[in-house]
A and B are shown apart, each in its own frame.
Chain A
Amino acid sequence: GAVVSQHPSWVICKSGTSVKIECRSLDFQATTMFWYRQFPKQSLMLMATSNEGSKATYEQGVEKDKFLINHASLTLSTLTVTSAHPEDSSFYICSAIDFLFSGELFFGEGSRLTVL
C-alpha cells in the first residue's frame, strides 16, 4: 500500500522555540494532506487541511499563526509549531489521500512533541 512518512518521530524542545514536522507521501501524489493532533487516550482531532499550492484550511479553534502549514509540493507538507509552549506537547499525525485510485487515507507514523 501507499506510504506516508513523517519526520521527526520524537522531538523535545524548549519553550519559545519553533519546531517543524515534515509529512511526505512516498509513492503517490497527495494534493491534499491533513494534520491531526491527538492527546493521550483520545481520538484524533483534525487541525487543518493542507492543499498543495494554496493556503491551508484550519479547523475552528486552531490558531493559524501558531501552527504554520506549508504544502510546497505534491509530496510534502510541513507543520511548524511556532513559539512552542508546554501545552503544545502532543502527538501530531499527518495523513494523505490517494485520490487517484481509491480515496483511501494513509497516515504517517506520527510525531511526539514535548515542550519543556
Chain B
Amino acid sequence: KQEVTQIPAALSVPEGENLVLNCSFTDSAIYNLQWFRQDPGKGLTSLLLIQSSQREQTSGRLNASLDKSSGRSTLYIAASQPGDSATYLCAVNSGNTPLVFGKGTRLSVIA
C-alpha cells in the first residue's frame, strides 16, 4: 500500500528565503507525482506534475525534482514571498489507483 509522507509538517520563513519541501513515498512504481497548493478554505491548485520518466519540472520560482528509485520528491521555492503562504501537498499516482496524498506542509512566509 502506497504511503506518502511530507516533512516538515509546518515551516515558517522570512520573506526572500529559498526553501525546500520534502515528500517521500513507499512504493516506487508510480505513474506520476504532483505538487499542489491549498489556500485556507479553498480547493487545490496544481503546481507541478512530474511524470515517472522525468527528473524535474520547473515553473517560475518553483522547481520540483523526482528520484523515483529512492521514493523522494522535493519542491524548491526560490525567493519566497508572503503570497506563497499556503499548505503544499504532494500526491502520488500509481496508475490504476486513486492519488495518495501526503498530509501537507503548512508554509508561512513572514514579511
Interface centre among B36, B43, B44, B49, by most chain A C-beta atoms within 10 angstroms, is B43
Q: Is A104 an interface residue (CB 8 A)?
A: yes
Q: A49-B98, A95-B44, A107-B43 are in contact. List 19 more A-B contacts (CB 8 A).
A: A34-B98, A34-B99, A43-B89, A44-B44, A44-B89, A46-B98, A91-B41, A95-B99, A102-B32, A102-B51, A103-B31, A104-B32, A104-B46, A105-B46, A106-B46, A107-B44, A107-B45, A109-B43, A110-B41
Main secondary structure of the interface of B (DSSP, over half): strand
**Contact partner of A6 among B36, B43, B46, B91, CB < 8 A?**
B43
How many Å from the CB of A60 to the closest CB on chain B? 12
Interface residues of B in 75-111 (CB under 8 A from A): 89, 91, 93, 98-99, 101-104
Residues of B within 8 A of A (CB): 31-32, 34, 36, 41-46, 49, 51, 89, 91, 93, 98-99, 101-104
Q: At the interface, yes or no: A61 with Cβ under 8 Å from chain B?
A: no
Contact in complex: A110, B99 (CB < 8 Å)? no
A112 at the interface (CB under 8 A from B): yes
**Is the beta-carbon distance between A103 and B42 smaller than 8 angstroms?**
no
**Across the two chains, which residue of chain A brings its CB closest to B103?**
A43
Given A34-B99, A103-B31, CB of A109 within 8 Å of CB of B42: yes
